Amino acid sequence: MTRHTRILMSVLYWAFVVYLFVPLVLMVMMGFKDSRFIGFPINAWTTEWYLGVFQNAQVLTVFAYSMAIAISSTLLSLVIGTWVAVFLGPARFRGKLIVFALTCLPAVIPGIISAISLRIFARLLSIEPGMLAIILGHTVHNVPFVALVVMARLSTQPRSHVEAARDLGADALVAFFRVTLPYLKPALIGAGIFCMLLSFDDFVRAFFLGGYQPTLPVLIFAMLRSGMSPEINAISTIVLILTAVLGLWAERSMRRLNKGV
Smaller CB distance to another protein: residue 41 or 169? 169
Smaller CB distance to another protein: residue 77 or 180? 180
256 contributes a contact to another protein by CB under 8 A: no
253 contributes a contact to another protein by CB under 8 A: no
Q: What are phi and psi of 33, to 5 degrees?
A: -80, 135
Smaller CB distance to another protein: residue 189 or 242? 189
The minimum distance between CB 257 and another protein, in angstroms, equals 9
Q: Which DSSP symbol is given to 102?
A: H
261 contributes a contact to another protein by CB under 8 A: yes
CA distance 141 to 4: 46
Q: Is the dihedral of CA 71, 74, 80, 86 positive or negative?
A: negative
Q: What is the DSSP string of 31-86?
A: TTBSSSS-SS----B-SHHHHHHHH-HHHHHHHHHHHHHHHHHHHHHHHHHHHHHH
The minimum distance between CB 261 and another protein, in angstroms, equals 5
The minimum distance between CB 155 and another protein, in angstroms, equals 16
Smaller CB distance to another protein: residue 120 or 172? 172
Smaller CB distance to another protein: residue 79 or 168? 168
CA dihedral 56, 74, 143, 84 (to 10 degrees): -170
Residue 26 parent element (H or E): helix 3-30
The minimum distance between CB 181 and another protein, in angstroms, equals 9
Neighbours of 250 (CB within 10 A): 19
Q: What is the DSSP string of 196-240?
A: HHHHHH--HHHHHH--SS--HHHHHHHHHHT---HHHHHHHHHHH
Binding mask 142-181 for another protein (x = CB under 8 A): ----------------x-xx-xxxxxxxxx--x---xx--
Binding mask 175-214 for another protein (x = CB under 8 A): ---xx--xx-x-----------------------------
Smaller CB distance to another protein: residue 95 or 158? 158
CB 209 within 8 A of CB 160: no
Name the site residues for another protein (rule: CB under 8 A).
158, 160-161, 163-171, 174, 178-179, 182-183, 185, 260-261
